[in-house]
Structures are given as structure tokens and as C-alpha cells.
Amino acid sequence: MKGIDQYASAKDVNWKKMSPRYFPYRLVQKAGQGNALGDVKFVLPNDRSIYLHDTNHPELFERDMRALSSGCIRVEQPTLLAEKIIAGQQGWNRSNIDSAIAQNRTTHIRLHKPVPVYLMYWTTWVDDNGNLQIRDDVYQRDLIGSLARNSQKSLAL
């Protein structure tokens, strides 16, 4: 744990003094093998701590239903994405990325130019072959589904 620019062991914390209003620590999982966010994390500007990140369970990408996180978005090929994002940024290439990951230390890379990220939540769309695709609304954000849950009788589009 890190407390105001100092590292603290969990056994050294007086847990009886801690409360939801008083917790002067920031919990940080060490980089490296077994980290829940995998080897690469892409920080996005938001107030919900939602990131794009790798995973320490790549087998989850084999599942049909993958809504298993607490809000973050797993990236299947995070190293390739990192390479594409920082392409042309001085001092960084695939070899440097792989080397940084191998060190099992957190490395921050500031982008010279921000990359826009748009998150879209679609449960219904038409695919490239013209077929209607419908998926479960696992986050219950669809307008029609929301109206149905709230007993609306009709909807005009």
C-alpha cells in the first residue's frame, strides 16, 4: 500500500482507525505476473477509474459472454495496441515495450498527442452481411429495455 508518498505494509496499518471517511492510503497492486490488469493498462480520462487493460486471464476471450469485469474493458492484444498508440513517439517501439513489461515495474508513458477513445454500448446492430444482431442488455442501458422494465405501454420512434 502507498500512503501519502510512503509505502506501508498491511500489517503496519492500524485498521481500527480506518473508516470510509478516513483512509489515507492508495491501494496499488504490484506490476508483474498475476496482476489483475495484466501487463498493460491504458488510462482514460474519467472519474470512474475505467481503463482499457490487458488481463491475467486471457482464456476469458474464448467465452461468448465476457461481461465479467467491474467496469473496465479488457483488450485482447494490449501490446499491439500500445505499439500502435505510441508509434512515432521518440524512444518507444515494440522492443522497448516488451523490455519495459519484462522488468515487472510500472512504467508510465505520456503521449505527446492524446488519442480519442469512444466507448459505444450496442446491443442491436446490422452486421456487414445485413443480418440483424441482437445481444443481451447486460448493463441494462437500452432505452427500449428500460421502458419495458418501467412498464411503459408504448414507444414512438
Predicted confidence at residue 144, as pLDDT, reads 65
66-92 pLDDT, tens digit per residue, is 777 667 888 999 999 999 999 888 889
Residues 101-105: what's their mean pLDDT? 92
Predicted confidence at residue 42, as pLDDT, reads 93
Domains in the chain: boundaries: 1-29, 31-118, 120-157
Q: Can you say whether residue 99 is alpha, beta or left, with left for phi > 0 and alpha for psi between -120 and 50 degrees?
A: alpha
Catalytic residues: 53, 72
Asked whether residue 1 carries a pLDDT value surpassing 60, the answer given is no
Q: What is the mean pLDDT of the chain?
A: 84
Asked whether residue 127 carries a pLDDT value surpassing 90, the answer given is yes
Asked whether residue 93 carries a pLDDT value surpassing 70, the answer given is yes
Asked whether residue 154 carries a pLDDT value surpassing 60, the answer given is no
Instruction: Tell whether pTM > 0.85.
Output: no
Predicted confidence at residue 5, as pLDDT, reads 63
